[in-house]
Amino acid sequence: MWAIGKQNCGPVGSTIILRGWGAVDGGQGPVARFPGEACMQKTGLLISGFRHDTGNHPECSDRLRAIEEVCAQEDLQAGTERLQPRAATVDELCTVHDRDYVHRVEEACRGGIRALDPDTIISSASYEEARLAAGAVLTAIDHVIAGAMRNAFCAVRPPGHHAERDRAMGFCLFNNVAVAARYAQSRHGLRKILIVDWDVHHGNGTQNTFYADPTVFYFSLHQENHYPGTGHREQEGKDAGIGFTRNLPMAAGSGDGEYQEAFEQLLVPAMVAFKPELILISAGFDAHAEDPLAGIYLTEAGITDMTDILVRLAKAHCRGRLVSVLEGGYNLTALKQSVRAHLLSLFQG
């Protein structure tokens, strides 16, 4: 049983089935070269993080095995193209994180330290896997912006949205989505980026990274009064960033209808004004009704609706450019169903 936070309300151990451990290499599917291959209509799929060994913990590599299993289904295989991620460089990580913090993570992993905080377990390979997790999103952005992929889904671990500039937190080492937003701006010259975070927990690290920044709009739906305790409605940014952070704390028991309403009535009009050039999704699937860590009741239909809306927004404002990044999601059956719904919408929507 793991202490996830002060509002942890899930019977973790009873629901998460943990099988054997050990370093297992991720299967690498065919690697697409870009541009020029006929994958314009496909969704790029990047899976990495099998060697980030957290032991008997809900955020474990069985999550990736579950995703690989569902991605092997014939229709999902037909709509996706496996891509090989590269590792983010230290300089790329340092667009979001302190250099000293990055080195501390490296040393902790190599030195055999087992945890960076009570929730955040590491192993000897975790530093490399965390660099690959961030780098996978950069790889996805390169392919999507080059037009080689319709959009992309990065099933990576460790997750990222709780990671702060100088601190690991909530299973997260480096903030994958935040590093990706900075990369899209610096490498590809994009000016305005939307990050939608529907993980059931508030992405405190992402919010703090861009809190005073009017070029990155952070839109988060999360369970009210839940871990990590941030993300109140009145937190709307500061200085030049005021109005570019939007938090929607959802009451426990909320579900598909409330989420769809928030997207249609708040997000869509805000984006008509903001006009993003790229959409990033912090796609946590722990708001699913069957997830053990929270009390939101999303179903696969709700995940399809939200994804459809974001695919439409991407088509309307940013030539379809959308990259989705796994965050939470701890019931393996619900995770598989959620990822299936999400991917179908990404390549069919």
Task: Specify the stretch interacting with Zn ion by CB under 5 A; choose among 46-54, 80-88, 191-199, 203-211.
Answer: 191-199
Nearer residue to Zn ion within complex by CB, 183 or 330: 330
Task: Compute CA 183 distance to the chain's CA centroid, rounded to the nearest angstrom.
Answer: 16
Q: How far is the CB of 205 from Zn ion (least distance, A)?
A: 12
Cβ–Cβ < 8 Å for 178, 208? no
- Please work out the total of residues on this chain that contact Zn ion, with binding judged by CB under 5 A: 5
Nearest approach in angstroms of CB 75 to Zn ion is 28
Pick between residue 213 and residue 286 the one whose CB is nearest to Zn ion.
Answer: 286
Q: How far lies 186's CA from each of 92, 95, 341, in Å?
A: 10, 10, 32
* Segment near Zn ion (CB under 5 A); pick from 44-52, 87-95, 261-269, 281-289: 281-289
Q: Which of 156, 136, 76 is nearest to 326 (CA)?
A: 156
The reply to whether 59 sits near Zn ion by the rule CB under 5 A is: no
**Which one, 160 or 276, has the nearer CB to Zn ion?**
160
Residue 328 in the binding site for Zn ion (CB under 5 A):
yes
Contact residue for Zn ion among 81, 119, 164, 199 (CB under 5 A) = 199
CA distances from 322 to 108, 150, 191, 309 (A): 34, 8, 15, 12
Instruction: Give residue number: closest CB to Zn ion.
Output: 328
* Beta strands at 193-197 and 216-223: parallel, antiparallel or unpaired: parallel
Applying the rule CB under 5 A, the residues between 97 and 156 that interact with Zn ion are none
Q: What pairing do the DSSP bridges indicate for beta strands 278-283 and 322-326?
A: parallel
> Residue 74: which residues within 8 A CB-CB, separation 6 or more?
none
**Shortest gap between Cβ of 199 and Zn ion (angstroms)?**
4
C-alpha 41/C-alpha 91 separation (Å) is 33
Rounded to the nearest whole angstrom, what is the least distance from the CB of residue 190 to Zn ion in the complex?
A: 27
CB of 222 to Zn ion, least distance (A): 8
| b/e 301-319 (16+ beta carbons within 10 angstroms → b) | ebbbbbbbbbbebbeebbe
Q: Which helix (H) or strand (E) holds 110?
A: helix 99-110
Candidate list 59, 119, 286, 290; residue touching Zn ion; CB under 5 A: 286
Catalytically annotated residues: 162
Nearer to Zn ion among residue 145 and residue 250 (C-beta): 250
- Is 201 a residue that touches Zn ion (CB under 5 A)? yes
Q: Encoding tokens for residue 241? A: 């960033």
Question: How far apart are the C-alpha atoms of 116 and 108, rounded to whole Å?
Answer: 8
CB of 328 to Zn ion, least distance (A): 3
Using the contact rule CB under 5 A, the part of the chain among 126-134, 139-147, 274-282, 323-331 near Zn ion is 323-331
Residue 284 contacts Zn ion per CB under 5 A = yes
| Paired tokens of 58 | 């809900």
Choose one: 38-46, 173-181, 305-313, 325-333; the region binding Zn ion (CB under 5 A): 325-333
The answer to the question of residue 182 lying near Zn ion (CB under 5 A) is: no
Q: From 99-107, 144-152, 216-224, 283-291, give the range in contact with Zn ion by CB under 5 A.
A: 283-291
Q: Is the peptide bond before 249 cis (omega within 30 degrees of 0)?
A: no
Chain residues that interact with Zn ion, rule: CB under 5 A: 199, 201, 284, 286, 328
